[in-house]
């Protein structure tokens, strides 16, 4: 069975993130989506498939926008260092996706912004912190099939 354009574009997005070694372990839709990774698992990153919306582009094509979230976790000796590290890691993610068409699968990938970086535990040293960023993958698809 062929792979849908949605799955192909989400897999390509994940591959671009997974290629950034500074992010540590990168998982797509991980089981620990509700729980914070342990300190020994950091740095870590998760890519979450999101909802999508479609609109008619013309009689034959749909314009589809798929939401994707990227969550980054880090551990550093101080809160300041942890928050700076998150900003640096987010910069690497944006750089990897900034002009990407995901190998021709997408028209573009848009950065929508991020949540405020959050220290996970201020009472301990080293400090653990996280950041979630939102992106959109814009692509075209035929009305009649999710494969073309």
DSSP track, 60-82: SEEEEEEEEEEEEEEEESSHHHH
pLDDT, tens only, 99-112: 889 999 999 999 99
Which fold is adopted by the domain 5-33+40-142? STM4215-like (3.30.2000)
Ranges of each domain in the chain: 5-33+40-142
pLDDT, tens only, 114-128: 998 877 666 667 888
Beta bridge partners of 74: 129
pLDDT, tens only, 11-53: 999 999 999 999 999 999 876 555 778 888 899 999 999 999 9
Task: Name the pTM for this structure.
Answer: 0.90
């Amino acid at each position: 069975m062929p792979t849908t354009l949605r799955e192909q574009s989400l897999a390509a997005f994940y591959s671009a993130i997974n290629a950034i070694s500074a992010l540590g372990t990168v998982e797509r839709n991980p089981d620990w989506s509700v729980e914070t990774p342990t300190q020994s698992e950091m740095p870590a990153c998760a890519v979450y498939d999101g909802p999508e919306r479609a609109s008619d582009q013309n009689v034959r094509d749909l314009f589809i926008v798929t939401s994707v979230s990227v969550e980054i976790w880090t551990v550093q000796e101080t809160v300041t260092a942890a928050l700076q590290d998150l900003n640096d890691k987010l910069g690497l993610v944006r750089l990897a996706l900034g002009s990407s068409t995901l190998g021709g699968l997408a028209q573009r990938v848009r950065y929508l912004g991020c949540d405020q970086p959050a220290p996970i535990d201020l009472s301990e040293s080293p400090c653990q912190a996280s950041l979630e960023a939102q992106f959109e993958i814009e692509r075209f698809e035929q009305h009649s099939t999710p494969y073309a």
